[in-house]
Homo-oligomer: A and B are copies of this chain.
Amino acid sequence: MRLTTHSEYALLALLYLSRNAAKGELISLSRITEEQKLPFKYMEHIMHTMLRAGLVTSSKGQKGGYKLAKKPGQITVAQVIRLFDGPLAPVDSVSVHFYKPTVIEKEKKLTKLMKEIRDYISSKLEKTTLKDLA
């Protein structure tokens, strides 16, 4: 697993929403990007991806913006990273959600090592929610 700016920016935006969501209030993207100093146009894509994935909901127009689609305790770091950066596993051949064959598969002990790493990462990221981080 290697994080790109997609996941990093997404997590920052989600944490901002988690903290500043006074009961269902919508927060505009410009507010998020100004306070966190993130590129607005780039963030539009990221928010859109999270919208389609059901992590946030949105409304257009004045007073429009975004809010979390679920409680912070129900959104895991794993969901976010899988959405933007794909597999948590170090190689595709040991990935549960994104399996693809690779050359190291015939090396049983090396594969086992990679699976142990995959298991550690996914259990850690699946049990950590926005609530834990905010």
Chief secondary structure at chain A's binding surface:
helix
How many residues from A make CB contacts under 8 Å with B?
31
Nearest opposing residue in chain B for A9, CB measure: B103
- Chain B residue nearest in CB terms to A111: B133
Interface string of A3-22 (1 = CB under 8 A from B): 10100110110010000000
Q: Is A91 a contact partner of B3 (Cβ separation < 8 A)?
A: yes
Interface flag for A104 (CB, 8 Å):
yes
Please report A residues at the B interface, Cβ cutoff 8 Å. 1-3, 5, 8-9, 11-12, 15, 36, 38, 77, 90-91, 102-104, 107, 109-110, 113-114, 116-117, 120-121, 124-125, 128, 132-133
